[in-house]
């Protein structure tokens, strides 16, 4: 590699936050270098959102095949061809990466392959796979190095019996049994996939509910649906230890129980990639491994910004994407508003799906709101009956005020939350939404029905 620059912006990391920043900055006429050691697209595209959702769709097809007789369709389920599932998944990923790579190059962005490290407030050294180095200089540096799977102290991920989500995506067989450590989004989604593929699954979650950050009634709905599917879970208990067995592992919990399984998936969250990128040398402030930023993603060093999983904001690809655009526009001389993180939709793509935007009942009360809430059961929604799904739409609104949160459980509700996002972010009143006519028969009618109920009895809190 040779020395390159100076650029207007050097972006360290080609995931959702980094490439969005690079694309928007290039649109605004900035010269951009994008440093990436792996394939463009980062965790989301290569090891996260996209491949996991491909697996979840394959799982849905497996379940639909098993249940075809209920719809009058004669079909026989013969099993899972894991090689075929992986080929489908990998094709979705590779074609998307190819499209993204072509787009980035078409915008005149200089892509530099290798490991990047800050060497000064405006300089980055990149070490290529062959050991060669390049010194990049930019008026501004944007850190977008992302995250990696976390573990617990003393629990070593070996990639064989004890695996992370990265390993789970590369499995070449369906495990007979799995213990999933962690009942957050990653754990719940893999549990859903493996159960559909025929595995025995037990989730272990230290907090009282699956998806503990979501609306409690939604979590309970998911737990009920998982129980019906045969997915077991141990809630409010902590992992204590693990021992190898001839068939895999024996996992012990702090309540004295042990669970034997072929594999243990460690899904206790993701940690920021902040080590070894030169933060200390340049003086960038870090807290618990995350880079500290203000509401405009500025670090304490004026020439350095940070976005995505590297900073302590929601670890969602679309959040990183929005942060990358915000930074590019700020550096491009525009005045973008800060991101309202409550207004970011979040979806767990399990069966059933869980989707939400805004705040929960608990948070609303903590913030001092007097609230009304309505829960509309999907049992009353004809399209949900057609699909054979159960669930709910719960809407929370301030008394005499706007909608504060929309929380859903059911098949395909991830596609409904976009309307919820508009309702929340435009600070709509329930009565305003109640005037809108929803098409029939659709699941979206459940959103309309919940707002009709809120508008009709605005002073009464519904359970």
Catalytic residues: 440
* Cα-trace Rg, the chain: 23
Q: Which residues pair with 116 in a beta bridge?
A: 126
CA–CA separation, 310 vs 423, rounded Å? Answer: 30
Q: Is residue 6 reached through a cis peptide bond, with omega within 30 degrees of 0 on the bond before it?
A: yes
CA–CA separation, 382 vs 454, rounded Å? Answer: 21
CA–CA separation, 2 vs 294, rounded Å? Answer: 35
| Residue 413, C-beta contacts closer than 8 angstroms, at least 6 positions apart | 352, 353, 354, 355, 391, 393, 443
CB-count exposure of residue 398 (10 Å: 0-12, 13-18, 19+): middle
Q: Parallel, antiparallel, or unpaired: how do β-strands 270-272 and 286-287 relate? A: unpaired
Going edge to edge, which strands form the sheet with 162-163?
Answer: 162-163, 263-266, 177-181, 200-205, 232-235
> Helices 49-66 and 185-196 sit at what angle, rounded to 10 degrees?
40
Q: Pinpoint the alpha helices (H) of 156-290.
A: 165-168, 185-196, 216-229, 279-282
CA–CA separation, 390 vs 217, rounded Å? Answer: 13
DSSP string, 401-431: S-EEEEEEEETTGGGTHHHHHHHHHTT--HH
CB-CB contact of 239 with 253 (8 Å): yes
């Amino acid at each position: 590699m040779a020395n390159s620059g100076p650029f207007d912006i050097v972006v360290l990391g080609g995931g959702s936050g980094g490439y969005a920043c690079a694309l928007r900055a290039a649109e605004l006429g900035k010269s951009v270098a994008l440093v990436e050691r792996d394939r463009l697209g980062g965790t989301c595209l290569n090891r996260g959102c996209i491949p996991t959702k491909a697996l979840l769709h394959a799982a849905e097809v497996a379940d639909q095949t098993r249940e075809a007789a209920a719809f009058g369709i004669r079909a026989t389920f013969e099993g899972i061809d894991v090689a075929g599932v992986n080929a489908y998944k990998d094709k979705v990923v590779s074609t998307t990466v190819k499209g993204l790579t072509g787009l980035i190059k078409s915008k005149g962005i200089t892509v530099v392959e290798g490991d990047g490290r800050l060497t000064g407030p405006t300089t980055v050294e990149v070490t290529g796979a062959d050991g060669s180095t390049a010194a990049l200089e930019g008026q501004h540096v944007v850190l977008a190095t992302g995250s990696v799977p976390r573990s617990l102290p003393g629990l070593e991920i070996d990639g064989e019996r004890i695996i992370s989500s990265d390993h789970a995506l590369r499995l070449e067989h369906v495990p007979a049994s799995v213990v999933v450590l962690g009942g957050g989004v990653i754990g719940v989604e893999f549990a859903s996939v493996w159960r559909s593929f025929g595995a025995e699954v037990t989730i272990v979650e230290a907090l009282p509910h699956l998806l503990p950050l979501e609306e409690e009634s939604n979590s309970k709905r998911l737990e009920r649906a998982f129980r019906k599917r045969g997915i077991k879970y141990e809630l409010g208990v902590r992992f204590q230890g693990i021992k190898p067995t001839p068939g895999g592992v024996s996992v012990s919990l702090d309540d004295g129980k042990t669970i034997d399984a072929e594999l243990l998936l460690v899904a206790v969250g993701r940690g920021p990639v902040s080590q070894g990128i030169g933060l200390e040398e340049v003086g960038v402030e870090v807290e618990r491994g995350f880079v500290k930023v203000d509401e405009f993603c500025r670090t304490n060093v004026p020439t350095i910004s940070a976005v995505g999983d590297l900073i302590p904001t929601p670890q969602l690809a679309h959040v990183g994407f929005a942060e990358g655009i915000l930074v590019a526009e700020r550096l491009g001389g525009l005045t973008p508003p800060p991101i309202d993180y409550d207004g970011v939709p979040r979806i767990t793509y399990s069966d059933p799906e869980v989707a939400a935007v805004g705040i929960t009942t608990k948070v609303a009360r903590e913030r001092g709101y007097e609230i009304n809430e309505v829960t509309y059961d999907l049992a009353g929604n004809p399209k949900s009956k057609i699909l054979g799904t159960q669930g709910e739409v719960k809407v929370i609104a301030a008394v005499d005020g706007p909608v504060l949160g929309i929380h859903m459980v059911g098949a395909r509700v991830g596609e409904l939350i976009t309307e919820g996002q508009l309702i929340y972010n435009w600070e709509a009143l329930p009565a305003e939404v109640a005037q809108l006519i929803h098409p029939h028969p659709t699941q979206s009618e459940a959103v309309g029905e919940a707002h009709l109920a809120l508008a009709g009895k605005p002073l009464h809190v519904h359970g």
